[in-house]
Amino acid sequence: MSIHARLLRRPKQIHRPTQVRRSTEIRRLTQTASRSAFLPVLGMALLLASCAKSPAPQGPSLADQLAGDNRTVTQEARGLIVSLPGILFDFDKATLRAETISTLEQVAAVLREYPTLEIRVEGHTDDVGSESYNQDLSERRALAVRDFLVDSGMAPSQVQSAGFGESLPVAPNSSPEGRQRNRRVDLVIPDPPQ
C-alpha cells in the first residue's frame, strides 16, 4: 500500500475520535444548559411558593364565635366590639354578678384561641351620680372584667382596661332600661383576624 493510500485512510481514523469528542462535548453542553435553565426555574418556583398566602381558615369567624346570649358583636371603625350589657354588674357595683360568669367564661375560651390578639376592656356607666364617681366606677368595672380574663388564662399583656364613665351612652338615661344598657363593658379588638 502506498503512502498516499495510507494517508487517505488515516484521516478517517483521525476524524473519528474528533467526531466522538465533538458529540460528547455537544451532549455535555446540552445537559449543562438544561441544568442551568432548570435551576433558575426551580428557584423561582420555590420563591413563589414561599410567598403564597396560606388558605383562609375554615369555620366561623371570630365575631361569630363571640356572639351569643347576653352579648352583641359589631364591627366598627375602632375594631370588633363585643358588648356585654348591664347584666355584669348591679347598680353602683363593680363586682361581677354570679350569673354572668358563664358568659365571660365562654368569651374567654374563644379569646384564648387567639394568643396574639390585643383586647381593650372598656367600662361604662349610666349618668346617675357624679361624673367623677362614674368615671371611677367604670374603671373598676373594666378592671374586674380584665382580671377575670387574665385569671381565665389570657396573658396580662394581651388585655388592657379603661373606663369611660357616662361619656359614651348607647341608650337614653331617661329610663331604667336605658340606664341598665349603659351600665356595660365592651371588649374592643382593634385588629381582629379576617
Domain ranges for the chain: 1-52, 62-189
Percent of the chain with pLDDT over 90: 47
pLDDT confidence tier of residue 162, bands split at 50, 70 and 90: very high
Residue range 146-167: mean pLDDT, rounded: 96
Q: Which three cell numbers stand for residue 41?
A: 426555574
pLDDT confidence tier of residue 183, bands split at 50, 70 and 90: confident
Residue range 173-187: mean pLDDT, rounded: 91
Q: Tell me which DSSP letter residue 57 carries.
A: P
The pLDDT of residue 54: 41
Considering only CA atoms, which of 122, 87, 127, 125 is closest in space to residue 104? 87
Residues contacting 129, CB < 8 A, separation 6+: 92, 137
The highest-confidence range among 3-7, 20-24, 40-44, 135-139, by mean pLDDT, is 135-139
Task: Answer whether residue 49 shows pLDDT above 80.
Answer: no
pLDDT confidence tier of residue 56, bands split at 50, 70 and 90: very low
Please report, as a single letter, which amino acid is at residue 2.
Answer: S
More confident residue, 27 or 70: 70
Task: Answer whether residue 55 shows pLDDT above 50.
Answer: no
Residue range 150-158: mean pLDDT, rounded: 96
Q: Which CATH superfamily is domain 62-189 in?
A: OmpA-like domain (3.30.1330.60)
Sign of CA dihedral 124, 125, 127, 131: negative
pLDDT confidence tier of residue 106, bands split at 50, 70 and 90: very high
More confident residue, 173 or 17: 173
Q: Please, are residues 130 and 170 in contact by the beta-carbon 8 Å criterion?
A: no
Question: Whole-structure pTM over 0.85, yes or no?
Answer: no
Percent of the chain with pLDDT over 70: 69
Residues contacting 121, CB < 8 A, separation 6+: 142, 143, 145, 146, 149, 159, 160, 161, 162, 185, 186, 187, 188
